[in-house]
Amino acid sequence: MSPIPENQQQAMVSRLMSACGGSYSPETRRKYYISGPQWAAAYQGQALFHAPTRPAIDFESVIRKYSDIGIGYWSTHDTDVIPTEALGKPAQAEIVGRIQKALAENGLQCSMVTTETFYHAVWAASPAAEAPGVRQYANFRVQNTVEIGHELGANFAVYWPGSLGYYVQGAIEETQTLRWYADAINAACDRDIEVAAQKGRPTLKHCMEAKPFEPQAEILLPTSDAMLAFIASGLLTHPEMVGLNPEYLHELMWGAAPRAVLARALLAGKLFHFDINDGYRLKHDVDIGVGLVNPLDWLNVLVLLRSHGYNGPFNLDFKPPRTTSQFGVFEVSFPTAVDRFITLWEMAGEVLSDPIIQEATDALKAGGPVTDPRDAEALTSANRELLTLHELIAHRLVQILLGLHRGRAFSI
């Protein structure tokens, strides 16, 4: 192939995308509770060792592009859209007005707002820093985000306490820091109750999001389970308003089975919101698009969520790779992430109604005939042949994932 001139590259990407096929219409995509974060689309590819690879983009453009794709919901950090110095000032109201206009014009809804408590230098010692002024400022920030959330019609507020931890040992006392952090969550809930009453709206669902590594060296609430314990610790004045926003990769990163994490959150009644993406175990937060690394695990995750009637948002918290251009972000990254999610979700429905999986599962639950419940040998042999169904079920799931049950075959 001869070199492809720069002015023909976008057309080629589009042609190959449509040759891939398998995409859903924007109308179909809008039927799912999928939210597009402002920060994901606006991510320019920067990191500690990475210069940006994409230009900046404003929220009006992101909202318009999401609308074109068929992403029906939008989420944002306060500072993704409002400069830190404008927070709580008249300029904030003007920006919120522009957001409302852009959402209305493009038929999107704001589902979630979140407070940035990790990036600005003021959070160097975390939002639960020793200095009372910083903690007061943290309370102002989360309360202000609650107000913005109500203005924009959001139903969820998320807290990723990224900088709640330390680099060097001994300077902070963990129990004290966690108490101070609880004060901020309590301030947000208290303000929410007031604003919701004023506006005649339901209170927001407050969702804590854990990440095991980075940006601190040691993290005080590194996993969703740690957060469940924090919510139930007695430090929160409104624990019933606070639940979880697990992120798939954040749990995988520490070596967990994300499906088991979600199961524990479901049992606790705390699975409020879900950040969807993909990546690898025991690596940094690579935030790859959903289903590109672990599609089989993702299928299983969605089987669990479908079977438990999870009806919260699926938030596309991934980072389009640095190799993807800004054109590619909206031409390839977002539409393909949405479509893989929808396919896996529908496939999960197929798994739940698959007669083979159903019969195998029922047979396992029926078990073999029990002659003596105290006889280990008899119980073992009564179930021996049935237990082969575990592997058969796993095979069937892979068949469904790869389309092999429909006779897909390769020439050999």
Instruction: Report the interface residues with ligand GLO, using CB under 6 A.
Output: 77, 114, 158, 160, 209, 211, 247, 275, 285, 317
> Minimal distance in Å, beta carbon 338 to ligand GLO?
18
Closer to ligand GLO by CB, 329 or 389: give it. 329
Interface with Mg ion includes 147 (CB under 5 A)?
Answer: no
Q: Return the one option of ligand GLO, Mg ion, none that residue 251 interacts with (CB less than 5 to 8 A, by type).
A: none
Residues 77, 150, 206, 250: which is the catalytic one? 77
Geometric angle at alpha carbon 334, from 328 and 335, rounded to 5°: 95
The distance of closest approach from Cβ of residue 275 to ligand GLO in the complex, given in angstroms and rounded to an integer, is: 5
Residue 71 or 303 with smaller CB distance to ligand GLO: 71
CA terminus-to-terminus distance, the chain: 29
Q: Is the CB of residue 124 less than 8 Å from the CB of residue 164?
A: no
Indicate whether 80 belongs to the interface with Mg ion (CB under 5 A).
no
Give the residue, chosen from 147, 225, 285, 331, that forms a contact with Mg ion under the rule CB under 5 A.
Answer: 285
CA atoms of 197 and 111, how far apart (whole Å): 19
Kindly write out the interface string for residues 239-278 of this chain, putting x where it contacts Mg ion by CB under 5 A and - elsewhere.
--------x---------------------------x---
Q: Which is nearer to ligand GLO, 285 or 354 (CB)?
A: 285
80 binds, among ligand GLO, Mg ion, none (CB under 5 to 8 A by kind): none
334 binds, among Mg ion, ligand GLO, none (CB under 5 to 8 A by kind): none
How far CA 116 is from CA of 81, 162, 229, 235, 236, in Å, comes to: 11, 9, 23, 22, 21
Choice between 317 and 339, CB closer to Mg ion? 317
* Shortest spacing between CB 378 and ligand GLO, in angstroms: 51
Give the C-alpha distances (Å, rounded to integers) separating 288 from 37, 63, 276, 319.
Answer: 14, 21, 9, 6
**β-strand partners of 288:** 278
What's the token pair of residue 403? 């389309």
DSSP letter (8 states) at residue 335: H
Q: Are 221 and 259 in contact (CB under 8 A)?
A: no
Nearer to Mg ion, 317 or 331 (CB): 317
Q: Does 287 bind Mg ion (CB under 5 A)?
A: yes
Which residues have C-beta within 8 Å of that of residue 65, sequence separation ≥ 6?
41, 330, 334
Q: How far is the CB of 39 from Mg ion (least distance, A)?
A: 9
80 is catalytic: yes
Separation between Cα atoms, residue 308 and residue 109, nearest integer Å: 25
Of 256, 146, 247, which Cα lies nearest the Cα of 190? Answer: 146
Q: Is 206 a catalytic residue?
A: no
Structure tokens at 77: 């950090």
Q: Could you say which of ligand GLO, Mg ion, none residue 114 binds, taking C-beta under 5 to 8 angstroms by partner kind?
A: ligand GLO
Sole residue written with tokens 């993909």: 278
Query: Which structure tokens are listed for 95?
Result: 């920006």
Q: How far is the CB of 13 from Mg ion (least distance, A)?
A: 26
- Torsion angle defined by CA atoms of residues 290, 292, 295 and 297, in that order, rounded to the nearest 10 degrees: -70
Q: Which is nearer to ligand GLO, 275 or 354 (CB)?
A: 275
- Smallest separation, CB 320 to Mg ion (Å): 13
Contacts with Mg ion in 305-364 (CB under 5 A)? 317
User: What's the chain's length in residues?
Assistant: 412
Q: Which of 78, 80, 192, 287 is catalytic?
A: 80
CA 44 from chain center: how many Å? Answer: 19
Nearer to ligand GLO, 317 or 331 (CB): 317
| Residue 158 binds which entry of Mg ion, ligand GLO, none, CB below 5-8 Å type-dependent | ligand GLO
CB of 350 to ligand GLO, least distance (A): 30
Q: Kindly determine how many residues on this chain lie close enough to bind Mg ion according to the rule CB under 5 A.
A: 5
Strand order in the sheet with 274-275: 242-244, 205-208, 156-159, 109-114, 73-77, 34-37, 314-315, 274-275
Q: Is residue 263 helix, strand or coil?
A: helix
User: Tokens 């230098």 appear where?
Assistant: 121
CB 151, min distance to Mg ion, A: 23
Which CB, 35 or 186, lies closer to ligand GLO? 35
Note the residues at the interface with Mg ion (CB under 5 A).
Answer: 247, 275, 285, 287, 317
Active site residues: 77, 80
